[in-house]
A and B are shown apart, each in its own frame.
Chain A
Amino acid sequence: MKKILVANRGEVAVRIIQACKELEINTVAVYSAVDKNALHTNIAEEAYQIGEGPADQSYLRIDSILELAIITRCDAIHPGYGFLSENIEFRKRCDEENIIFIGPSTSNFLEVADKLNAKKIAKRAGLPVVPGGDHNVNNEFELIETTETIGFPIILKATGGGGGKGIKVCRNREETINNYRIIRQEAEKSFGDNRIYVEKYIEHFRHIEVQIIGDAYGSYIHLGERLCSIQRNMQKIIEETPAPGITDNMREEMCKAAVKLAKTIGYLGVGTVEFIYDYTNEDFYFMEMNTRLQVEHPVTEMVWGIDIVKEQIQIACEKKLSVGQDDLQARGCAIECRINAENAFKEFQPCCGKIDLFVPPTGSPNIRVDTYIYSGYQLSCYYDSMIGKIIVYGNTRIDAINKMKVALKTTIIEGIDTTLDFLLMIMNNVVFEGGGYDNKFLEEYLCVMSETSVTLN
């Protein structure tokens, strides 16, 4: 492997390019007209403009990206996360053009990218699945029928969806019908696939996911679980490992189930199996599988001592996994906070503009910053509002929390609104500290925040 085209932008493009440098692989960066001065274009060995600002005119332009990979003689394309990373057409086209796609095989894609199919496979593999529909509802009649069988509350999900998009919770018939109409349209627009399925909605749960990696020789490892229950609009904000409040037994069962699923489908590369943990009844259910690198992979790296991106690239080069399960030992705790360019006190209104000053938290062992911003950088409004991630490692969870507080306080970002202060408030929250929070935590917290006048110290 001599050259990789990084089909992404922002902090993940920087992450991939750094991993390639460590592996002595050259990189080709792509950028839109508004990303001319983005960090990733500077650090790659080659960089080319592929289109205008809007993602569908640049980062989603399959033809341009493939054409460029051919012109620049790239051996492989790394799709990062989001954009084309889980796009089946792109995956197939890479096969057709004989370019290595750094990710799972096309058949893996076909099996688990479709959420309903993934559920069927998981069930056949012996994993517990969320009770509910196992078929798409094609019209309102089927919708009502299915809903009545399952019983409220239910959740509607786009079969071709992902990344928390195309999901709506419904508590009664009227909501169900209205939301169904809305999501069908949204799904068509976002994924080009308007199929919807229905599941039982478990009111109080924890979102726990397991990192797995498989090589081309049939070896699999898991790298433990991550707790990702702090979400706003289905977008994760804070992730941590290990998940507090689950027994070692439960942990082992989930990890084993994840590996079993990966083995069953002969999964290749890096992937994440997501579970819903019904902590009231101590049951867990398979929810979906993500066939890509995840944003929150750093917390796993901190605790297991593995560079997941390098491992991912090596596996695409047909190398064996660098470690076996017996060589691995989780150590300590890690927490990640995603920093967004948003005003948390004005309904998370996104912000763009010039970043006058950026000084990352520095001078402390075990504080990691994954970002693409720099002092003077002009943040555009075309893309995701996440401008970076702060990850901390501590021997204990309290250590990690304290370290995160210091990291958030000592980070300087001037010129734009950020969620730094908001994240610090959550770190100081007693429920978060206790570790017993669930999927409702942030919703309830935000309610309280909007009802009281907030002062910051």
Chain B
Amino acid sequence: MEQLEQNFLDKVLRFYSDNNIDVLQIKMDTISINIEKKVPIQRAEETCAKITEVENIEAEDMVDITAPMVGVFYLRPGPDEDTYIKTGELVEAGKTLGLIEAMKCFTEFKASEGGIVKEILIADGQAFEHGQVLFRLQK
């Protein structure tokens, strides 16, 4: 089934608590989220931007880099080396973002589009499935 982005869920919960809502219902495609107050929710202590409308996670300037297959992802060329990329970095299309291991073969995984690395959604040595969002870039 579709996985909810942790980020998105965070944003929804923040929006819910910041705006003192009693019941919030969101329907998207095949997912529907329903949040109801059972216990008074404490306002979030951290400073964060007030969200006045739910952000569309498919905002035009963001690109999802998804996995083309099943495998294990490595963010660095070797255990003692630096990661291929870091958040905030500007990458060109074709830049190696990491290594994919499948059936004991390693292949370089390259960016299909260029942009600023906003989110790295896969951990070093973590397994992934086809279609899973690995990186999010801002064009």
Contacts and interface: CB of A to CB of B under 8 A. Distances in A.
Q: Is B truly associated with A?
A: yes
Nearest to B30: A37
Given A37-B30, A71-B127, A64 B69 contact: yes
A395 B4 CA distance: 52
B71 A49 contact: no
A51 interface: yes
A48 B2 contact: no
Q: Which 4 A-B pairs have the closest CB atoms?
A: A48-B129, A64-B70, A49-B130, A71-B127
A68 B70 contact: yes
Contact of B103 (A48, A52, A67): A67
Nearest to A52: B130
Given A48-B70, A64-B69, A68-B129, 16 more contacts: A36-B1, A49-B130, A49-B132, A50-B70, A50-B129, A50-B130, A51-B69, A61-B69, A63-B102, A64-B70, A64-B102, A67-B71, A67-B103, A68-B70, A71-B70, A71-B72
Interface of A: 33, 36-37, 41-42, 47-52, 58, 61, 63-64, 66-68, 71
Interface of B: 1-2, 30, 69-72, 102-103, 127, 129-132
Q: Is the interface of B mostly helix, strand, loop or mixed?
A: loop
A49 B127 CA distance: 12
B36 to A, nearest CB: 24
Nearest to B131: A49
Contacts of A42: 1
Given A48-B129, A49-B130, A67-B70, A37 B102 contact: no
Contacts of A68: 70, 129
A66 B70 CA distance: 10
A64 B72 CA distance: 11
Contacts of A47: 1
25 contacts: A36-B2, A37-B1, A37-B30, A42-B1, A49-B129, A49-B130, A49-B131, A49-B132, A50-B69, A50-B70, A50-B129, A51-B69, A51-B130, A52-B130, A58-B130, A61-B69, A63-B69, A63-B102, A64-B70, A64-B102, A64-B130, A67-B69, A67-B70, A68-B70, A71-B127
Contacts of A48: 70, 129-130
Contacts of B30: 36-37
A342 B2 CA distance: 30
A411 to B, nearest CB: 26
